[in-house]
Amino acid sequence: MPKVRETSDKPVRFAFITHHHGDHAYGNQVWAEVGATIVATEAALGEMKTVETGYYGGGPGRWENAAKKRPDVAASRLKPPTLLFPRELFFDDGKRRVELRWFGVAHTKGDAFVWLPKEKILYTGDACVNGPHNNLNDGNVAEWIKTLEKVKQLGAEKVVPGHGPIGGPEILVDQQAYFVDLHRRVKAHFEAGRSPAEMKAAVPELAAELKKVANIARYVPENLTTQAEKVYRELGGAAFPK
């Protein structure tokens, strides 16, 4: 908020969240209290309702189980989005155009992007990151690859990822290439009939192979097991043994 004040004294009227995860949505209260309307996709709110069950009258959800235990945010509260759109919402004052766009399932079902067509700047949220920051738990890798293909067609010249440093269109290219390679290698094991235990045992070798590919090596996490298991299960396999 102080950063905004360095360039403008105008009120903040809208605050957009790319998806429902806490590190992107739990600060909504701050903006709402200064008069901003919180904006998100319908799918993002739908997912928020499934995980923030404490807020919506059910048992403790993610907020109660995690965020409220942190002293720095324990006194704050959830503020769901109130302005929703299914696929597109555009702001255009004749000088600057801002497009909020949903292209499909990716990091979550509700991921949306911010596209500035005149400036060719793209804000991706966690649907595209730059480094070993991918969380696949609420996404679908096969669909994510397709979504990134659509996003690449925008022709962004500057990409601002949800995590990691800002860069150019190569971030989109590399993020997608990482998922394509990960999916291909896990699928080969799955189609060869590898059991969950055998697949889990093959993960270190799989990670080493991915790290040899120059443009995607930075996406390989320290422990690839969770990501490999997610792809394996998407293909029809069972959970890895503990």
Per-residue pLDDT of the chain (242 residues; tens, 9 = 90+): 999 999 999 999 999 999 999 999 999 999 999 999 999 999 999 999 999 999 999 999 999 998 888 898 888 999 999 999 999 999 999 999 999 999 999 999 999 999 999 999 999 999 999 999 999 999 999 999 999 999 999 999 999 999 999 999 999 999 999 999 999 999 999 999 999 999 999 999 999 999 999 999 999 999 999 999 999 999 999 999 99
Encode pLDDT of 71-95 as tens digits. Answer: 988 889 999 999 999 999 999 999 9
Closest CA to 39 of 5, 90, 77, 75: 90
DSSP assignment, residue 167? B
- Report domain 2-168's class: alpha beta
**CA 108 – CA 40 distance, rounded (Å):** 13
At residue 70, φ and ψ (nearest 5 deg) are: -90, 125
Sign for the pseudo-dihedral over CA of 28, 29, 30, 33: positive
3-state secondary structure of 90: strand
